[in-house]
Amino acid sequence: MNSSGVVYFSTMIKVIVLGYGNVGRHLVKAFQAAQDVEVVQVYHRSAQDDSELSDVEITSDISEIKVADVYVIAIPDDEIEGFSKQIPKNDGIVVHTSGSVSIQKIHDTHQKGIFYPLQTFSKDRTVDFSTVPICIEAQSERDLETLRTLAESISVSVHHITSVERRKLHLAAVFVNNFSNHLYHISEEILLENNLSFDLLKPLLRETTEKAIISKPAEVQTGPAVRNDEQTIEQHLELLRNKKYRKIYKAITKSITATHGKKL
């Protein structure tokens, strides 16, 4: 903390959000609701029908970008590197919001940073940003403090995470989010094939999540694999006609058995 801390923190942080997909859209809303943040501009490649953005200046021309303290890139992962080159040199911090892209992919003309909200965003669902973990990284203490102040203006869960840690975190998030979701899809497919509704499983789905949140997942593991119930496992493999699903079933079953074996 420096001696001018009080003055510094009471200053409005000027933010420009670049990109207006799911992440950008939610960030703009959250920043607009925050007390000490001013969204001075939104860069939106196809800025047309956004009545929600009536109170913010929008541009689709990157050369028209204004002056801000933080430039938040919220575009697809593989476009970050190329896009960051096009952002005019400035005195702010240029951050991206991706879990898997290195801080080094931001072009060297900029002061670089990361502002990674660890959540899945959808167009039609409101997210309570105040509990979304925001993982920040910067290249100087001063920049880190600015990003921390910005993050704390919208969330109570702010974490300084290195790029190496962020990669691990993203990998863990893939298991929790992307992979679980695919398992839900498989479940739904099994049910639909038999004219059963996925609704039947929704209370179970919700309770599974709540249990894992309250307890340690390994401690609440149940099912044929953890019981080593070979007869049920065999029956299940016979029922699964999709080869790829059988592979998943076998791989997870082996891993559960191994995890449980280790514990005994």
Question: Binding to a second copy (CB under 8 A): which residues in 233-262?
Answer: 235-236, 239-240, 244-245, 247-252, 254-256, 258-259
> Can you say whether residue 118 is alpha, beta or left, with left for phi > 0 and alpha for psi between -120 and 50 degrees?
beta
Q: Which amino acid is at 169?
A: L
Q: Residue 50: how many CB atoms within 10 A of its CB?
A: 15
Distances (CA, A) of 48 to 27, 45, 51, 190, 239: 19, 9, 8, 42, 50
Sign of CA dihedral 93, 98, 102, 105: negative
Q: Which of 51, 54, 55, 175 binds a second copy (CB under 8 A)?
A: 175
By CB under 8 A, tell whether 82 contacts a second copy.
Answer: no
Pairing, β 93-96 against β 37-43: unpaired
Sign of CA dihedral 19, 25, 28, 31: negative
Q: Is 144 helix (H, G, I), strand (E, B) or coil?
A: helix
Show the site string, 38-57: x = touches a second copy by CB under 8 A, - = not. Answer: --------------------
By CB under 8 A, tell whether 147 contacts a second copy.
Answer: no
Q: Which of 100, 109, 140, 163 binds a second copy (CB under 8 A)?
A: 100
Q: Which of 104, 182, 234, 261 binds a second copy (CB under 8 A)?
A: 182
CB-wise, 71 or 129, nearer to a second copy?
129
CB-wise, 62 or 156, nearer to a second copy?
156
**Least distance in angstroms from the C-beta of 91 to a second copy:** 32
| C-alpha span between 250 and 237 (Å, rounded) | 8
By CB under 8 A, tell whether 178 contacts a second copy.
Answer: yes
Show the site string, 187-226: x = touches a second copy by CB under 8 A, - = not. Answer: xx-xx-xx-x--xxxxxxxxxxxxxxxxxxxx-xxxxxxx
CB-wise, 144 or 252, nearer to a second copy?
252
Pairing, β 134-138 against β 111-117: antiparallel
Site for a second copy in 109-138 (CB under 8 A): 118-120, 122, 125, 127, 131-133, 135
**Least distance in angstroms from the C-beta of 235 to a second copy:** 7
